[in-house]
């Protein structure tokens, strides 16, 4: 290397240290890259941080602001007293804040809501960020940092934000051996073997990332819960994590095994009506709170997929939930009781949660909330909303989404989930007349004075980029933003995320955003269009196996149970002539779903067994529609590959390359899905694949031989 070339090389190492070494995705959406100086000029009135309260949370807020500023402009903000150019942060008790905001407004601030305002007083300029609670101020600071990056509103800010849900919670399906059920981003973040003495720096980073999007709670362990988690040995580890998370406003919850009194308490049973069992739970809860005074509560999967529960003793889910609720009640703890139950009986699996829980409405304690998966089966690429939403009048209900992509290509496929989340939240249940959306039922609008919460199964693991796929980070981000405000659009959320995570250049933002916004529909098209569901490979759920037959397996774990392909047609008859699952929906939806001509086409095969030649709205047959959908999914992925290759100049080489490689896998998988499903269904339809679409490239018999080595049950 010539000497001047060497000098340039060394110089460039200093100039671009981050893009060369650090773009591994670990900084998430909190990268705080330099902002253009013209933009920073607008912020010349921002020089100091004024904070007059002692608080770990406010220290975090001040530090975050300062670090962000250093990233944006190269200059940290220094702490100072109230003076011109200060960002004033604090609670409604702060003297500074009281000097700048009217008393009535401060009194009106409640809970975690916050206010951000540009204030001019005595010729001085201030930016005020205030809340009743310290954590609300922290949320306000993160919101402000986001606004700066979106280049919105500085100098005339007047923002009030309040969260739609009181509890915004992640569910980790992390096992104590650090494997993660349905996790695709490496091992669990929680290093149980080192806790409580060694605290990984990632615990704080995790808490910070969650706080930045308003997530305020976490269930640390798998709902397929080991009783061990409630032993003293583990509780001190849980306490260590809770201590790290506390200043970030995050409460810890645990998933508990219903048999814990018997398994670790040495009792003869775990019958909820056994006074010894009640006593055991009371004592255990007391022990938990003595270690973790702000402990959130329990999440319970009971009498589901082989787990123990109250029905083992002839008791109901209400009996089971109430025994825990009574133990938690004195401390303000909550029970999240899952409605994900289905037995081996004959009843359509999609109907079972409703059948089980509706008769129990009114029997649960006030601190019990029923956690319901968004759809009636299991986190499929598309399902109708669960009919249980709105069906319980006296019991609070919460949604459980799945951020981890169990049924959506693991961390190999690029799928932006905000449109899926919003589809559920915006669905009208008609429970209280038109406009009774799932959001309004669960956020307290239509069930006032009830607990409100929203949850999602996390996709976070030990991988450097946290989520396995760089774009899977967007789903964590989107869940948090929607849990805070479900009225935000999927587009707005994508826009924020792209600008903070990758680039603010519109040449990048616009095409990438369009790719994200269509990506969920694309995955539906190449996996399971028109309402088909659960045609996944057995066990691991990666890839297609519509033909799958496992001798001795539960019928409702097999694709044929769901697609019901035969010579007459395809789809599950859930109308009044079939399983009558439609009857679980309120009018007029029950009628709409029941009527093949009015049923939305994207759910047609969910509710109807449809003849292959049935004429769809576009005049083509159902079979042809199916073929065109699969083909369109494949073509869309090809488009994404082109979009991604074109944006190469705008981002770092590492993330570009990693996403490019994943898109290749996705493109491959989309063709696999298309060929597997069409060739298999064709053995029933006996109709040609329309001649204007790409021909299959695989032989059905070869696809049937694929067996991936991934260990998972059902």
Active site members: 305, 378, 406
Residues 195-254 that bind ligand GCV (CB under 6 A): 223-224
Phi-psi region of 136 (alpha: psi -120 to 50; beta: other; left: phi over 0): alpha
Looking only at residues 534 through 553 of this chain, which bind ligand GCV when binding is defined by CB under 6 A?
Answer: none
Token code pair at residue 371 = 């956690």
Burial of 275 (0-12, 13-18, 19+ CB in 10 A): exposed
- Minimum distance, C-beta of residue 365 to ligand GCV, in the bound complex (Å): 23
Site residues for ligand GCV, 139-158, by CB under 6 A, read: none
Task: Give yes or no for residue 450 binding ligand GCV (CB under 6 A).
Answer: no
Nearest to ligand GCV of 304, 465 (CB atom): 304
Q: Which is nearer to ligand GCV, 182 or 440 (CB)?
A: 182
- Contacts of residue 427, Cβ cutoff 8 Å, sequence gap at least 6: 384, 385, 389, 437, 438
Site string for ligand GCV, 363-402 (x = CB under 6 A): ---------------x------------------------
Q: Can you give the three-state secondary structure of 274-329, one letter per residue?
A: CHHHHHHHHHHHHHHHHHCCCCCEEEECCCCCCCCCHHHHCCCHHHHHHHHHHHHH
Q: How far is the CB of 466 from ligand GCV (least distance, A)?
A: 20
Contact 113, 132 (CB under 8 A): yes
**Residue 650's beta-bridge partner residues?**
none
Residue 181 or 694: the one with the smaller Cβ distance to ligand GCV is 181
- Does the footprint of ligand GCV cover residue 319 (CB under 6 A)? no
Q: What angle do CA 136, 141, 145 make, to 5 degrees?
A: 145
- Which residues of 176-274 form beta strands (DSSP E)? 217-219, 251-256
Q: Report the alpha-carbon distance of residue 387 to residue 495 in Å, rounded.
A: 32
d(CA 441, CA 436): 7
Pick out residues in 10-39 that bind ligand GCV (CB under 6 A). none
User: Which residue, 415 or 457, has its beta carbon nearer to ligand GCV?
Assistant: 457
In the shown chain, the binding pattern of residues 400 to 419 toward ligand GCV, with x for contact by CB under 6 A and - for none, equals ------x-------------
Query: In the complex, what is the shortest distance from the CB of residue 261 to ligand GCV, in angstroms, rounded to a whole number?
Result: 22
Minimum distance from residue 309 beta carbon to ligand GCV (Å): 12
Nearer residue to ligand GCV within complex by CB, 114 or 410: 410
Count CB-CB contacts under 10 A for residue 586: 16
CB of 175 to ligand GCV, least distance (A): 10
Tell me how many residues contact ligand GCV (CB under 6 A): 11
By DSSP bridging, strand 114-121 and strand 158-161 are antiparallel
Query: Least Å distance between CB 312 and ligand GCV?
Result: 17
**Which listed residue (181, 326, 361, 428) binds ligand GCV by CB under 6 A?**
181
**182: contact with ligand GCV by CB under 6 A:** yes
Tell me which DSSP letter residue 437 carries. B
With beta carbons less than 8 A apart as the criterion, state whether 348 and 432 touch. no
| Contacts (CB under 6 A) with ligand GCV, residues 276-305 | 301, 305
C-alpha span between 166 and 161 (Å, rounded): 13
Pick 301 or 608: Cβ nearer ligand GCV: 301
Residue closer to ligand GCV, measured from CB, 373 or 513: 373
Shortest separation between residue 182's beta carbon and ligand GCV, angstroms? 5
Q: If you write DSSP's letter for every residue of 593-644 in order, what string do you get? A: HH-TTTS-GGGHHHH--EETT-B-TTSSBHHHHHHHHHHHHHHHHHHHHHHH
Question: In angstroms, what is the minimal distance from the CB of 192 to ligand GCV?
Answer: 18
Our CB check for ligand GCV shows the closer of 132 and 558 to be: 558
176 scored as a contact of ligand GCV (CB under 6 A): no
Of the candidates 165, 234, 298, 340, which one interacts with ligand GCV according to CB under 6 A? 340
Q: In terms of CB distance, is 303 or 590 closer to ligand GCV? A: 303
Q: What is the largest CA-CA distance in the chain?
A: 84
How many residues would you count in the chain?
714
Considering the rule CB under 6 A, would residue 339 count as an interface residue with ligand GCV?
Answer: no
Q: Which residues, listed in sequence order, are joined to residue 298 by a DSSP beta bridge? A: 254, 335
Least distance in angstroms from the C-beta of 322 to ligand GCV: 21
Nearest approach, Cβ of residue 382 and ligand GCV (Å): 17
Which strand (E) or helix (H) includes residue 705?
Answer: helix 700-705
Smaller CB separation from ligand GCV, 213 or 369: 369
Please give the order of strands across the beta sheet that includes 86-91. Answer: 78-80, 48-50, 86-91, 124-131, 114-121, 158-161
Q: Which residues sit opposite 218 in a β-bridge?
A: 170, 252
Give per-residue burial for 186-195: e unless 16+ CB within 10 Å, then b: bbbbbbbeeb
**Is 173 a binder of ligand GCV (CB under 6 A)?**
yes
Task: Give the interface with ligand GCV as residue ranges (CB under 6 A).
Answer: 173, 181-182, 223-224, 301, 305, 340, 378, 406, 714
């Amino acid at each position: 290397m010539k000497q001047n070339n060497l000098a340039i090389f060394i110089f460039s190492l200093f100039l671009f240290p981050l893009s060369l070494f650090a773009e591994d995705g670990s900084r998430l959406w909190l990268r705080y890259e330099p902002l253009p100086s013209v933009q920073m000029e607008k912020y010349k009135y921002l020089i100091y941080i004024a904070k007059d309260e002692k608080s770990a949370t406010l220290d975090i807020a001040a530090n975050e602001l300062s670090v962000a500023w250093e990233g944006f402009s190269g200059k940290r903000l220094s702490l100072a007293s109230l003076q011109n150019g200060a960002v004033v942060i604090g609670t409604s008790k702060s003297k500074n804040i009281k000097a700048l905001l009217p008393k009535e407004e401060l009194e009106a601030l409640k809970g975690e809501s916050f206010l951000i305002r540009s204030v001019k007083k005595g010729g001085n300029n201030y930016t005020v960020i205030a809340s009743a609670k310290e954590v609300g101020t922290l949320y306000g600071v993160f919101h402000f940092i986001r606004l700066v990056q979106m280049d919105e509103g500085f100098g005339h800010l007047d923002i009030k934000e309040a969260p739609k849900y009181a509890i915004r919670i992640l569910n980790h399906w992390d096992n104590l051996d650090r494997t993660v059920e349905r996790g695709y981003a490496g091992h669990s973040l929680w290093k149980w073997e080192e806790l409580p003495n060694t605290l990984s720096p990632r615990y704080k980073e995790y808490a910070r990332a969650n706080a930045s999007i308003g997530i305020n709670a976490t269930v640390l362990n798998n709902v397929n819960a080991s009783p061990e988690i409630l032993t003293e040995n583990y509780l001190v580890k849980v306490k260590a994590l809770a201590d790290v998370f506390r200043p970030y406003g995050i409460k810890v919850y645990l998933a508990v095994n219903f048999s814990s009194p018997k398994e670790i308490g040495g009792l003869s049973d775990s019958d909820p009506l056994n006074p010894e069992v009640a006593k055991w739970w009371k004592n255990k809860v007391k022990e938990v709170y003595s270690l973790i005074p702000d402990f959130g509560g329990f999440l319970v999967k009971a009498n589901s997929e082989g787990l123990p529960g109250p029905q083992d003793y002839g008791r109901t889910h209400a009996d089971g939930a109430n025994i825990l609720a009574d133990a938690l009640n004195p401390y303000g703890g909550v029970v999240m009781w899952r409605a994900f139950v289905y037995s081996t009986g004959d009843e359509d699996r999609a109907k079972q949660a409703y059948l089980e829980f509706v008769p129990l409405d009114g029997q649960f304690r006030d601190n019990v909330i029923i956690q319901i998966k968004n759809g009636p089966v299991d986190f499929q690429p598309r399902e109708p909303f669960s009919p249980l939403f709105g069906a319980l009048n006296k019991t609070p209900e919460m949604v459980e989404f799945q951020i981890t992509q169990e049924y959506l290509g693991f961390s190999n496929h690029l799928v932006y989930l905000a449109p899926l989340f919003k589809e559920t939240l915006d669905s009208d249940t008609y429970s209280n007349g038109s406009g009774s959306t799932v959001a309004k039922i669960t956020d307290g609008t239509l069930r006032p004075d009830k607990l409100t919460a929203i949850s999602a199964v996390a996709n976070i693991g030990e991988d450097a980029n946290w989520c396995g796929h760089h774009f899977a980070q967007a789903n964590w981000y989107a869940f948090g933003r929607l849990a805070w405000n479900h009225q935000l659009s999927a587009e707005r959320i994508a826009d924020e995320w792209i600008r903070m995570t990758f680039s603010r250049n519109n040449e990048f933002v616009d095409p990438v955003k369009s790719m994200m916004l269509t990506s969920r529909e694309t995955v539906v098209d190449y996996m399971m269009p028109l309402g088909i569901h659960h045609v996944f490979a057995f066990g691991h759920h990666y890839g297609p196996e519509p033909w799958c037959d496992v001798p001795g397996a539960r019928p409702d774990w097999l694709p044929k149970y769901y697609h019901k392909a035969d010579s007459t047609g395809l789809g599950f008859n859930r109308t009044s002539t079939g399983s009558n699952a439609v009857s679980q929906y309120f009018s007029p939806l029950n009628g709409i779903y029941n009527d093949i001509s009015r049923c939305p086409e994207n759910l047609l095969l969910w509710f109807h067994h449809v003849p292959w030649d049935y004429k769809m709205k576009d005049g083509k047959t159902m079979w042809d529609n199916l073929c065109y959908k699969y083909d369109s999914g494949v073509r869309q992925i090809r488009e994404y590959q082109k979009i991604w290759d074109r944006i190469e100049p705008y981002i770092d080489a590492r993330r570009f390359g990693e996403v490019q490689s994943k898109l290749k896998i996705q493109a491959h998988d989309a063709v696999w899905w298309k060929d597997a499903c069409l060739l298999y269904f064709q053995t029933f339809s006996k109709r040609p694949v329309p001649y204007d679409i790409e021909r299959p490239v695989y032989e059905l018999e070869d696809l049937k031989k694929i067996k991936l080595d991934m260990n998972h049950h059902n």
